[in-house]
Amino acid sequence: MTFDVTAEFDRQVANLLDRGYPALAGYDEDGFRTLVEPLRAAARSGDLDPQAGRLPFLLVVTRKAAPVEATMPRTTLHNGRLPGFVDHSFEPGSLERFVATVDLPAPEAYLLFDVERGAEFCGAVPTDAMAAIAGRGRTLLTIEEGIALITHFPQVLVKNKCFSLGGSRCGDRRVPAIWISKRAPKLGWCWQGNPHTWLGMASAGSRAT
């Protein structure tokens, strides 16, 4: 799909402003715009097909700026009203232990490029899916990147095409994932050895400031 890169960057910034991200990150609106504006020059064109789960870039805000517990409830399904939520299976204090296993280019905000929902991995064992993605030279998405994905493109999250986020781990067999529950997005986790027909593995080409 043809699109205007500058207009898409502006749309994503406005989306975060509308959802209260400046206050979450401790900025006023002008301060938040100052934080993300340098990223504009790095935004690039690519395959924009949200229904197929392919996106050229995402503006990501990390948990250092805005905590996951606050950003997940700012998501909804496409044309939905119910807020996203963190599943109770994350015992108190455990979410902080699910840290990025990849190098992030900036502490608070950056761009993620060439994003794929990874529906081809629905039904695959997560460890096998992660190995296949690594073999392609691609990178797994973190929890914050998964939240950014459904924040900017909620139409990506649909029944039977949800996704795991192998870029955030806590040292055990759990792999975070976002799927649909109670008519809303849910951040939960699944075991790395258990396949699910409705759960793929999201990935990206690269990250940059």
pLDDT at 209 (0 to 100) = 65
pLDDT at 204 (0 to 100) = 98
pLDDT at 3 (0 to 100) = 84
Range of the domain at 145: 5-208
What is d(CA 190, CA 102) in angstroms, rounded to the nearest whole number?
20
pLDDT tens by residue, 134-157: 999 999 999 999 999 999 999 999
Asked whether the beta carbons of 200 and 133 are under 8 A apart, the reply is no
| Ranges of residues in the chain whose predicted pLDDT is under 50 | none
pLDDT at 25 (0 to 100) = 96
Residue-level length of the chain? 209
pLDDT tens by residue, 85-95: 999 999 888 99
pLDDT at 93 (0 to 100) = 87
Can you give the pTM of this predicted structure? 0.97
What is d(CA 86, CA 119) in angstroms, rounded to the nearest whole number?
22
Q: How many domains does the chain have?
A: 1
